[in-house]
Chain A
């Protein structure tokens, strides 16, 4: 995978996904060690360019790079620099001029990471492009499921919530389908495009049907401004009809795994008892996030060579 851009899971091969997951299993051991530093990426420079704030993803990439021995810098290219007339292209050309080996990029525009590959010779890793994809989140979710259930193939995975605006949902859908899972989407009609059927998923508007007998329930964040846009009437109604609570979770399999990409609106899409309950893998996801990003960086920058 050396030199390969990581733009999304739609076009990533099953073999590459497996390679990342296997490497991430190894990397996870490193994250549990006392001394976490490897020298795999010593002398490599990685820049995190985040046009959208995300402490979680940014620090996960930053730690991953540092554990691998790379030099990591962060550029907080907020939308204010865009307001100053600095275009995405200008920022990319600046990064390119610095001669980094990898650029990890988060941007609100779908396709932004792909656009970056036109200007940047470095490996481009998509850390979320609008509502399109968030491949490392998809991979860490796959890793979490595989660790918990032993395999992904044949499992029923429910993805619940605002699918329409979710890059996490799209990366999950592609990754899960490729690995042989059954994907069921649940949520209000206004938040699930019916055309997603074309991707090979099943759609439910009774959230109970989506999570019935599920091995995994992946709950997505609901953004409250969607309500103002008329996509659902009130947060109260959403929580009552679509929220994942203990009662509803009983419909799922006994050893169900509950995931959430964070940050959560507790009491809206997920009730606190579920978020902190015994089925929750939410903390494990954060840990796996670092491992997956270490795997992706080492595979694309150094053939995954170990220290």
Chain B
């Protein structure tokens, strides 16, 4: 196995409190040493990382790989290639596949396919209810034993409070989180965008932020009642941030994530009726963005997750009302946040990396991930923080070619990704080992 000595990089490892020009040696798939001016061993291949940032591999706790069943949109090969290109070394895929991942045998089948097809670590979410139908609990324990790492009906809110209570109680026996897609279905009705001035003007049906707030508030109460761990997916509203902050202060076991698009895009973009901006929950307004950034800064929001949700371009190319929600997110995530928040001085690079590494790892208690401790897994990325590029979905590795950031100028990009001590992505190309 190759040994690597990555020299002179700006190493940012928030879990270990490191933020300095340091060398790092990788041997036997593990971090062998971190320090100033490490001398090269005979078998080391030396990489000069001057001017680059060295970070633990990013962890995405919310994505959709579309396999099994919708491979035309994405599969494990293209999905994990796209993840690697975005700097993600661990991703958690959601259960809304066809069939739905709601039984141990499907979890096992996925794990098997992951071994052959995936270039990054893929963890699996099982469904909370059979078929995501919100009616009967799926075999949570069986799936946990088969290796599922979380449970979620993502895409839908578990409308039945009694079922959600049972899911939290049940999953807590296996120390696993239940991820909530929090939106009150009745209040959302057939809305297609954020309810506000823009929806009023366009005549498009609105989804009020209150639908999210109400749903989040139920989840918090159920987490308190059951002692279970609820994780709120893609927080997009100011009200939800406030509720989660309060709940955390009370010691309730709630964690939360926010996406790059909810941090960087507003509903006004929909004035063009471009379905690339259609996502669930919807893009909101600047007032909400300010609250989300505040929530990241004060720790209310634990992690940044992409909600990578690729669709074939053809499918998104239709009337706004008819278009499916979501878009590919792996390959733009870091660059978008770096360009929109770090370059503009609203946030710093260390904190951004924290929310993409140690933050998600801590939220789900994945102790072996999200850091570059000596003896730990060699999952890392090299980032060129000055690299300028323009988003072109056709140049991306994902099959999801609809992207709301198309044409935007970016500063900063992941240039190399290592998983388990092996380079899997370098200079625009995937390396399959």
Interface membership of chain A positions 196-219, coded 1 if the CB is closer than 8 angstroms to chain B and 0 otherwise: 101100000000000000000000
CB distance from A142 to the nearest CB of B (A): 19
Q: Are A130 and B200 in contact (CB under 8 A)?
A: no
The number of A-B residue pairs with CB atoms under 8 Å apart is 62
Interface size on B, residues (CB 8 A): 18
* Complex-state Cα separation, A291 to B243, whole angstroms: 57
Q: Are A109 and B321 in contact (CB under 8 A)?
A: yes
Q: Which interface class (under 10, 10 to 19, 20 to 34, 35 or more) fits A?
A: 20 to 34
Known: A109-B319, A111-B320. A199 touches B203 (CB 8 A): no
- Cβ of B204 under 8 Å from chain A: yes
Q: Are A198 and B319 in contact (CB under 8 A)?
A: no
| Contact with B322, one of A109, A133, A170, A198 (Cβ below 8 angstroms) | A109
15 A-B pairs within 8 Å (CB atoms) are namely A10-B201, A88-B322, A89-B318, A108-B321, A109-B321, A110-B202, A110-B204, A111-B319, A115-B320, A131-B204, A167-B203, A170-B203, A193-B199, A198-B201, A199-B200
Q: Which of A95-112 contact B (CB under 8 A)?
A: 107-112
* Complex-state Cα separation, A198 to B199, whole angstroms: 12
* Complex-state Cα separation, A289 to B203, whole angstroms: 23
* Complex-state Cα separation, A106 to B113, whole angstroms: 48
Q: Are A112 and B319 in contact (CB under 8 A)?
A: yes
Known: A111-B273, A132-B203, A195-B200. A89 touches B317 (CB 8 A): yes
- Cβ of A114 under 8 Å from chain B: yes
Q: Which residue of B lies closest to A173 (CB)?
A: B201
| Contact with A170, one of B197, B201, B206 (Cβ below 8 angstroms) | B201
Interface residues of A (CB under 8 A from B): 10, 87-89, 107-112, 114-115, 129-133, 165, 167, 170, 193, 195-196, 198-199
CB contacts (< 8 Å) of B202 on chain A: these are 110-111, 132
Other A-B pairs, 19, CB within 8 Å; known A107-B319, A110-B321: A88-B319, A109-B319, A110-B202, A110-B273, A110-B320, A111-B202, A111-B204, A114-B272, A115-B273, A115-B318, A129-B203, A130-B203, A132-B204, A167-B203, A170-B203, A193-B206, A195-B195, A195-B197, A195-B200
| Contact with B196, one of A10, A130, A195 (Cβ below 8 angstroms) | A195
CB contacts (< 8 Å) of B317 on chain A: these are 89
Q: Which of B187-211 contact A (CB under 8 A)?
A: 195-197, 199-204, 206
Q: Are B318 and A87 in contact (CB under 8 A)?
A: yes
CB contacts (< 8 Å) of B200 on chain A: these are 193, 195-196, 198-199
Interface membership of chain B positions 286-324, coded 1 if the CB is closer than 8 angstroms to chain A and 0 otherwise: 000000000000000000000000000000011111100
